[in-house]
Amino acid sequence: MRRLLLLLLLLVTGCGGASAAIVAPPGVPAGVACGTVRIAVNPWAGYAANVAVVSYLLRTELGCEVRTTDLTEEASWAGIAAGDIDLILENWGHDDLRRRYIDQEKVAVSMGVTGNRGVIGWYVPPWMKAEYPDIDNWRALNRHAPLFRTDRSGERGQFLAGDPSFVTNDAALITNLDLDYTVVHAGSEDRLIRAFRQAEADRTPLIGYFYEPQWLLAEVDLVHVPLPRHRPGCDATPAEVACDYPAYHLDKIGRLGFLRSGSPAVELAENFRWSNADQNAVARDMTVNKLSPDDAARRWLAANPQTWRPWLR
């Protein structure tokens, strides 16, 4: 891979005077080194895949120092406001945080879409659709609630959520759609994945929160349970939500000071754009195949130069 390091040319003149000139490749501001780039890492495999590839290119192509910090979604935005974080590489909506940090405080900026289409929803393992044909009709969920009872949910059906830090509408949806369920947290994305895999393998009932892009969907064809159709504004008041999640065009969020720094890392971050399949391939290598982030990044980069080389132009 070619390196986009700034070239220092020493121009020697006659009797001993010397002057230095820095010549930058096209698209890189002259005279500005990359410096340190601080990236928030949110707790799901797809986000980690973004960080693996972007940080590898920042280090090897632009000579940046990359520092990553594990943070929840809301804490990542607060980190930008505090000046501790430069980049969020996968933002799922968060209109309230946009209003606060982009519109009002003016410390953050959207850096364009990642190319990933995000879908959040309620899912059941495929064996349940074959056994109970109406299981994907939300109006039938109360009739089937006894199937989903567990020690953790008591007399109500269990609805399995993921990481408690994920911002979801599930508890409000259950209340406002008058469903006989209670939210129980798996605790992490890994545990949520294991639960769905086990439910399909053992043919045990399970309904829960899931999303794409996510590599598991290429292995287990989870069945989506559509809720009342999303309309603009139907989720404006979190406690009153009674509609499905919208589709998300995921984007990147940057600290305004970082964007104004002139660092060549800004252009790479703005140009970073790939597909759900790309992200899933890297995430699966990191989680299932147990590759290190750098090894997973190198594997994907070697196979997809036509996708990533334009990020560096």
Numbered ranges of CATH 3.40.190.10 in the chain: 7-114+258-312
The partner residues of 255 in beta bridges, in order of sequence, read 108
* Average pLDDT of the residues of the chain: 89
Separation between Cα atoms, residue 166 and residue 273, nearest integer Å:
23
Rounded to whole angstroms, the Cα distance separating 61 from 229 reads: 45
Map tokens 């309309």 to a residue.
Answer: 231
Tens-digit pLDDT profile for the chain (313 aa)? 434 333 322 222 233 333 222 233 344 445 578 999 999 999 999 999 999 999 999 999 999 999 999 999 999 999 999 999 999 999 998 888 999 999 999 999 999 999 999 999 999 999 999 999 999 999 999 999 999 999 999 999 999 999 888 889 999 999 999 999 999 999 999 999 999 999 999 999 999 999 999 999 989 999 999 999 999 999 989 999 999 999 989 999 999 999 999 999 999 999 999 999 999 999 999 999 999 999 999 999 999 999 999 999 7
Q: What pTM value is reported for the model?
A: 0.81
What CATH class does 7-114+258-312 carry?
alpha beta
- Identify the DSSP state of 149: B
Residues of the chain with CATH 3.40.190.100: 119-247
Kindly report the CATH class assigned to 119-247. Answer: alpha beta
Length of the chain: 313
DSSP state of 238: G
Picking from 255, 238, 250, the residue whose alpha carbon sits closest to that of residue 105 is 255
| 1 burial level (CB within 10 Å; 0-12, 13-18, 19+) | middle
SS3 111: strand
